[in-house]
Amino acid sequence: MKCGAMSLVGIEGARCGVYPMRCGKWSCPVCGPRKVRKTLARTRAGMSLGTCRFFTLTSPGTEDGDTSYANFPERWKRFRMRIERRFGRIEYLAVVERQKRGAAHVHVVYRGPYIPQQWLSRVAAECGFGRIADIRRSNPQLLRYLAKYLTKELSDPTAAPPRYFRRVRWSRGWCVWEKRGRTVPYGDWWILDAPPAVAAMAAARRGFKVEEVVADGLRVRFNPHWAVRWMRDLAGYRPLSPLAPDAA
Protein backbone atom coordinates (compact mmCIF):
# COMPACT_ATOMS: atom_id res chain seq x y z
CA MET A 1 0.00 0.00 0.00
CA LYS A 2 1.24 3.44 -0.85
CA CYS A 3 1.42 5.58 2.26
CA GLY A 4 -1.65 7.82 2.52
CA ALA A 5 -3.27 6.46 -0.64
CA MET A 6 -6.15 5.09 1.40
CA SER A 7 -8.12 6.78 4.13
CA LEU A 8 -9.54 6.03 7.49
CA VAL A 9 -12.93 7.61 7.91
CA GLY A 10 -14.38 8.03 11.38
CA ILE A 11 -18.14 8.31 11.42
CA GLU A 12 -20.52 9.35 14.16
CA GLY A 13 -24.05 9.92 13.02
CA ALA A 14 -23.79 12.37 10.14
CA ARG A 15 -20.37 13.70 11.20
CA CYS A 16 -17.08 12.35 9.97
CA GLY A 17 -13.32 12.89 10.06
CA VAL A 18 -10.93 11.73 7.35
CA TYR A 19 -7.35 10.59 8.01
CA PRO A 20 -4.66 9.09 5.79
CA MET A 21 -3.84 5.43 6.30
CA ARG A 22 -0.19 5.03 7.09
CA CYS A 23 2.07 2.34 5.66
CA GLY A 24 4.16 2.08 8.82
CA LYS A 25 7.39 1.36 6.93
CA TRP A 26 10.78 2.39 8.22
CA SER A 27 11.77 3.56 4.77
CA CYS A 28 8.73 5.82 4.37
CA PRO A 29 9.51 9.57 4.55
CA VAL A 30 6.43 10.13 6.72
CA CYS A 31 6.30 6.98 8.84
CA GLY A 32 10.07 6.35 9.15
CA PRO A 33 10.94 9.45 11.21
CA ARG A 34 7.87 8.92 13.38
CA LYS A 35 8.87 5.38 14.13
CA VAL A 36 12.39 6.51 14.96
CA ARG A 37 11.09 9.16 17.36
CA LYS A 38 8.82 6.66 19.03
CA THR A 39 11.57 4.07 19.39
CA LEU A 40 13.97 6.61 20.87
CA ALA A 41 11.32 7.78 23.32
CA ARG A 42 10.73 4.18 24.33
CA THR A 43 14.46 3.63 24.73
CA ARG A 44 14.83 6.76 26.84
CA ALA A 45 11.85 5.81 29.00
CA GLY A 46 13.41 2.44 29.84
CA MET A 47 16.88 3.88 30.38
CA SER A 48 15.53 6.32 32.94
CA LEU A 49 14.39 3.45 35.17
CA GLY A 50 17.82 2.24 36.21
CA THR A 51 21.38 1.46 35.23
CA CYS A 52 21.56 0.07 31.75
CA ARG A 53 24.18 -1.78 29.78
CA PHE A 54 24.52 -2.13 26.10
CA PHE A 55 25.77 -4.95 23.90
CA THR A 56 25.88 -5.84 20.25
CA LEU A 57 25.64 -9.26 18.65
CA THR A 58 26.66 -10.04 15.10
CA SER A 59 25.78 -12.83 12.70
CA PRO A 60 28.36 -15.49 11.78
CA GLY A 61 30.79 -14.13 9.22
CA THR A 62 30.03 -16.76 6.62
CA GLU A 63 26.32 -16.15 6.54
CA ASP A 64 24.41 -14.18 3.92
CA GLY A 65 21.88 -11.52 4.86
CA ASP A 66 18.65 -13.42 4.20
CA THR A 67 19.76 -16.45 6.19
CA SER A 68 20.85 -14.34 9.11
CA TYR A 69 17.50 -12.54 9.26
CA ALA A 70 15.63 -15.82 8.95
CA ASN A 71 17.64 -17.30 11.83
CA PHE A 72 17.49 -14.25 14.00
CA PRO A 73 14.24 -14.79 15.98
CA GLU A 74 15.19 -18.31 17.03
CA ARG A 75 18.73 -17.30 18.01
CA TRP A 76 17.52 -14.32 19.94
CA LYS A 77 15.03 -16.44 21.85
CA ARG A 78 17.67 -19.01 22.75
CA PHE A 79 20.11 -16.32 23.76
CA ARG A 80 17.60 -14.61 26.03
CA MET A 81 16.74 -17.89 27.69
CA ARG A 82 20.41 -18.58 28.34
CA ILE A 83 20.86 -15.14 29.93
CA GLU A 84 17.81 -15.51 32.13
CA ARG A 85 18.77 -18.97 33.25
CA ARG A 86 22.20 -17.75 34.27
CA PHE A 87 21.62 -14.16 35.45
CA GLY A 88 17.90 -13.87 36.07
CA ARG A 89 15.44 -11.67 34.34
CA ILE A 90 16.57 -8.72 32.28
CA GLU A 91 14.49 -5.97 30.76
CA TYR A 92 15.68 -5.03 27.32
CA LEU A 93 15.07 -3.17 24.11
CA ALA A 94 16.72 -4.55 20.99
CA VAL A 95 17.22 -2.95 17.60
CA VAL A 96 18.16 -5.09 14.61
CA GLU A 97 20.25 -3.41 11.99
CA ARG A 98 21.72 -4.52 8.68
CA GLN A 99 25.50 -4.72 8.62
CA LYS A 100 27.51 -3.66 5.61
CA ARG A 101 27.64 -7.19 4.25
CA GLY A 102 23.86 -7.47 4.64
CA ALA A 103 23.64 -9.65 7.72
CA ALA A 104 21.61 -8.90 10.83
CA HIS A 105 23.27 -7.17 13.73
CA VAL A 106 21.45 -6.59 17.00
CA HIS A 107 22.02 -3.77 19.47
CA VAL A 108 20.62 -4.45 22.89
CA VAL A 109 20.20 -2.08 25.80
CA TYR A 110 19.16 -3.75 29.03
CA ARG A 111 18.59 -3.26 32.74
CA GLY A 112 19.83 -6.11 34.82
CA PRO A 113 22.99 -7.67 36.21
CA TYR A 114 26.42 -7.33 34.71
CA ILE A 115 27.21 -9.98 32.11
CA PRO A 116 30.91 -10.78 31.61
CA GLN A 117 32.05 -10.18 28.07
CA GLN A 118 33.58 -13.66 27.78
CA TRP A 119 30.37 -15.36 28.75
CA LEU A 120 28.42 -13.16 26.34
CA SER A 121 30.70 -13.96 23.45
CA ARG A 122 30.77 -17.71 24.11
CA VAL A 123 27.03 -18.05 24.59
CA ALA A 124 26.28 -15.81 21.60
CA ALA A 125 28.28 -18.22 19.45
CA GLU A 126 26.56 -21.23 21.01
CA CYS A 127 23.20 -19.74 20.12
CA GLY A 128 24.24 -19.23 16.52
CA PHE A 129 25.36 -15.60 16.55
CA GLY A 130 28.84 -14.44 15.59
CA ARG A 131 31.61 -14.51 18.17
CA ILE A 132 32.06 -10.78 18.29
CA ALA A 133 30.12 -9.46 21.23
CA ASP A 134 30.81 -6.20 22.90
CA ILE A 135 29.32 -5.01 26.18
CA ARG A 136 29.51 -1.67 27.95
CA ARG A 137 27.69 0.70 30.26
CA SER A 138 25.08 2.62 28.37
CA ASN A 139 25.84 6.29 27.89
CA PRO A 140 24.21 9.39 26.46
CA GLN A 141 25.70 8.72 23.03
CA LEU A 142 23.79 5.47 22.87
CA LEU A 143 20.63 7.21 21.77
CA ARG A 144 22.55 8.94 19.02
CA TYR A 145 23.91 5.61 17.78
CA LEU A 146 20.49 4.06 17.84
CA ALA A 147 19.04 7.02 15.98
CA LYS A 148 21.69 6.55 13.33
CA TYR A 149 20.94 2.84 12.92
CA LEU A 150 17.23 3.46 12.80
CA THR A 151 17.39 6.19 10.16
CA LYS A 152 19.87 4.42 7.91
CA GLU A 153 17.34 3.05 5.48
CA LEU A 154 15.70 6.42 4.96
CA SER A 155 18.72 7.28 2.86
CA ASP A 156 19.72 3.76 1.90
CA PRO A 157 16.88 1.39 0.94
CA THR A 158 19.26 -1.59 0.85
CA ALA A 159 19.65 -1.22 4.61
CA ALA A 160 16.01 -2.14 5.16
CA PRO A 161 15.22 -5.42 6.91
CA PRO A 162 13.18 -8.06 5.08
CA ARG A 163 9.48 -7.37 4.83
CA TYR A 164 7.48 -8.06 8.01
CA PHE A 165 10.65 -8.40 10.07
CA ARG A 166 10.15 -6.84 13.48
CA ARG A 167 13.27 -4.81 13.97
CA VAL A 168 12.62 -3.27 17.37
CA ARG A 169 11.79 -5.67 20.17
CA TRP A 170 11.47 -5.11 23.89
CA SER A 171 10.58 -7.00 27.00
CA ARG A 172 7.26 -6.34 28.66
CA GLY A 173 8.82 -4.64 31.66
CA TRP A 174 11.23 -2.43 29.74
CA CYS A 175 9.24 0.75 30.26
CA VAL A 176 5.86 2.10 31.11
CA TRP A 177 4.25 3.14 27.91
CA GLU A 178 0.92 4.72 27.38
CA LYS A 179 -0.44 4.55 23.92
CA ARG A 180 -1.27 8.02 22.78
CA GLY A 181 -4.11 7.38 20.44
CA ARG A 182 -6.00 10.03 18.61
CA THR A 183 -8.94 10.92 20.79
CA VAL A 184 -11.43 11.54 18.07
CA PRO A 185 -15.07 11.19 18.88
CA TYR A 186 -16.06 8.69 16.24
CA GLY A 187 -17.67 5.41 17.02
CA ASP A 188 -17.31 3.77 13.66
CA TRP A 189 -14.22 3.54 11.48
CA TRP A 190 -14.08 2.72 7.80
CA ILE A 191 -11.32 2.25 5.33
CA LEU A 192 -11.78 3.98 2.02
CA ASP A 193 -9.74 3.17 -1.05
CA ALA A 194 -9.03 6.80 -1.86
CA PRO A 195 -6.67 9.42 -0.48
CA PRO A 196 -8.08 11.74 2.20
CA ALA A 197 -8.93 14.62 -0.13
CA VAL A 198 -11.04 12.38 -2.35
CA ALA A 199 -12.51 10.50 0.59
CA ALA A 200 -13.55 13.77 2.19
CA MET A 201 -15.25 14.93 -1.01
CA ALA A 202 -17.04 11.62 -1.33
CA ALA A 203 -18.21 11.81 2.26
CA ALA A 204 -19.38 15.39 1.81
CA ARG A 205 -21.30 14.45 -1.31
CA ARG A 206 -23.04 11.71 0.61
CA GLY A 207 -24.27 14.28 3.08
CA PHE A 208 -21.72 13.82 5.86
CA LYS A 209 -20.46 16.83 7.67
CA VAL A 210 -16.70 16.52 7.31
CA GLU A 211 -15.22 17.95 10.49
CA GLU A 212 -11.58 17.25 9.87
CA VAL A 213 -9.41 16.14 6.97
CA VAL A 214 -5.79 15.23 7.52
CA ALA A 215 -4.03 15.04 4.19
CA ASP A 216 -0.35 15.28 3.40
CA GLY A 217 1.80 16.20 0.44
CA LEU A 218 -0.19 13.96 -1.86
CA ARG A 219 -1.77 16.23 -4.43
CA VAL A 220 -5.08 14.89 -5.61
CA ARG A 221 -7.14 16.31 -8.40
CA PHE A 222 -10.73 15.58 -7.62
CA ASN A 223 -12.71 13.85 -10.30
CA PRO A 224 -16.45 14.03 -9.67
CA HIS A 225 -16.98 10.78 -11.55
CA TRP A 226 -14.43 8.95 -9.48
CA ALA A 227 -16.13 5.91 -8.11
CA VAL A 228 -15.24 5.57 -4.48
CA ARG A 229 -15.90 2.19 -2.98
CA TRP A 230 -16.48 1.89 0.70
CA MET A 231 -14.43 -1.07 1.63
CA ARG A 232 -14.72 -2.42 5.11
CA ASP A 233 -14.77 -1.34 8.71
CA LEU A 234 -11.92 -2.09 11.02
CA ALA A 235 -13.64 -4.88 12.87
CA GLY A 236 -13.91 -6.99 9.76
CA TYR A 237 -15.61 -7.17 6.44
CA ARG A 238 -19.09 -5.77 6.40
CA PRO A 239 -21.39 -5.15 3.49
CA LEU A 240 -20.63 -2.00 1.53
CA SER A 241 -22.07 1.40 2.29
CA PRO A 242 -22.17 2.69 5.84
CA LEU A 243 -25.09 4.62 7.21
CA ALA A 244 -25.19 7.28 4.59
CA PRO A 245 -27.38 10.26 5.33
CA ASP A 246 -28.19 10.69 1.66
CA ALA A 247 -29.64 7.21 1.49
CA ALA A 248 -32.49 8.30 3.73
Q: Identify residues 20-79 at the interface with Zn ion (CB under 5 A).
A: 22-23, 28, 30-31
Contact 21, 200 (CB under 8 A): no
* Residue with Cβ nearer Zn ion (23 or 143): 23
* Residue with Cβ nearer Zn ion (2 or 205): 2
Contact 225, 201 (CB under 8 A): no
* Residue with Cβ nearer Zn ion (3 or 200): 3
Q: How many residues bind Zn ion, per CB under 5 A?
A: 6
* Residue with Cβ nearer Zn ion (22 or 152): 22
Say how far apart CA 236 and CA 233 lie, in whole Å. 6
* Residue with Cβ nearer Zn ion (3 or 159): 3
Range in contact with Zn ion (rule: CB under 5 A) among 3-11, 86-94, 168-176, 204-212: 3-11
Nearest-approach distance from CB 154 to Zn ion, in angstroms:
11
Residue among 18, 132, 147 nearest 95 (CA): 147
14 contributes a contact to Zn ion by CB under 5 A: no
Q: How many helices (H) and strands (E) does the chain have?
A: 5, 10
228 contributes a contact to Zn ion by CB under 5 A: no
Question: What dihedral do alpha carbons 192, 34, 40, 27 form, nearest 10°?
Answer: 90
CA distances from 12 to 26, 188, 210, 212, 246 (A): 33, 6, 11, 13, 15
For Zn ion, the binding residues (CB under 5 A) are 3, 22-23, 28, 30-31
